[in-house]
Structure 1
Amino acid sequence: MEVGTLEKVVDIKRKIEQIYGVPVAYQILTVSGWELVDGLDMEDYPIITEGTKVDLAIKPMEPNSISYNDKMKMQITVKFPARRINIEVDQTDTVRSLKEKIHIIDSTPIKKMTLFFLGRELIEEFRNLNEYGIREFSEVIVFLKNAHQPKDPPSKKLSLVVQTSSSLLNAATIPVEMKDTNTVNDLKQLLLSRKILPADDYLFIHRQRIMRDSCSLKWHGVENGDCLYVFKGTVSRNGYTTS
């Protein structure tokens, strides 16, 4: 199947549905054991290149059971400084679509909203709620811009595991400790300074997403005990190159 670099996973699933008749909701696509997330596109997966094999698994279709879409629905609480409201959302809703629902129900201007969950700002509006760990009965806090913003919580230490690709150090597993305020570049320089990695260009991956060198581990949503994957490669305006 031919796909574009900016083609989203869900669009590929729609093609599969047209060809083989498998409903999008029942498809699970994986590459090397990594499940592909509907809202992401091919550029988000540096491991996918020309000729990559994508595995398709089909979820069981149980008769007389609750529909897949119903299972994806969940209730969350949206808390304002002086009030709170309950909203029904879908696990695949994005931060942007949540803001739109809040606007429809509460008339709060979308541009003025800043959303937080468990002390973390929901910055990337195209990311799904489940990627931020939002589940049934979760509480999302709304702060309005030009109002008093919450103080940044103090930095905390993280114990991480860096997993190299098979082309690096024979797929080594490297434990490291960093602060959540450290950037990806700080981590990269630490590994280089300890000569754990040879001098080269690298891509770091967290939860199937390419990490940005200048952004902190906290910004990427890295938590204690998480695993980061490292590949040789670079990112440019025209895409990425891996080796």
Structure 2
Amino acid sequence: MDVTFVCSSSGEAPFKMEVGFFDTVLDIKHKLQGRNGWPAAALSLFHDGGALVDDDAAGAGVTERYGVVEGSVIHVALDGAGDGDDRRPRQKGKKNGTRRPGKGMRAPAPEPLRVTVVSRCGAGRVEVAVRARGAVSALRRELEGGASSGSGFPLPADGGYFFIHGQSVMDEARSFEWHGVAAGDEVVVFEGSVTRAPAC
């Protein structure tokens, strides 16, 4: 997947580079070293306000661990070589000199994404808060949890239904962000199932 890299301290224009789904933070730093000559050990990477930590022991790639997807922007900071020069990028919109979280710090959790779930025939309509980077399958669990308590959304009894957003079937293993769902969007519940043609 193509990811845009921005390094304001180097004076270089933003550029795109291929990042693999399973690439770790250290893998990306080594790719940047090979492409730009920046020492991997002197790089700090930031995405969505949070620092990407070199923890290969976790065994997860940046997509799974940090939500980096096609078209994401990663900010690169060239750490000063002991000269006290902190070149980490400033957080957009901040005028008071505060900086993005440093190494080991966690960014605040993003606000939940509020979507409206509608049944195909209009028998049900409910607003649900979901995580933008959470899998669509979480919506199924949320709706079925409400239905089992008797206060929920009208669902087919056999569990045979799927979700549609913007005239496209939603893959429940993918995130809402991947499907382009924005706050206030409608997700429609259709009764039935989706089958895919076998690969040739």
TM-score interval w.r.t. the shorter chain? 0.3 to 0.5
Query: TM-score, normalised to structure 1's length?
Result: 0.37
Structure number with higher strand proportion:
1
Q: Which has the higher contact order (CA 8 A, sep 6+)?
A: 2
User: Greater CA radius of gyration, 1 or 2?
Assistant: 2
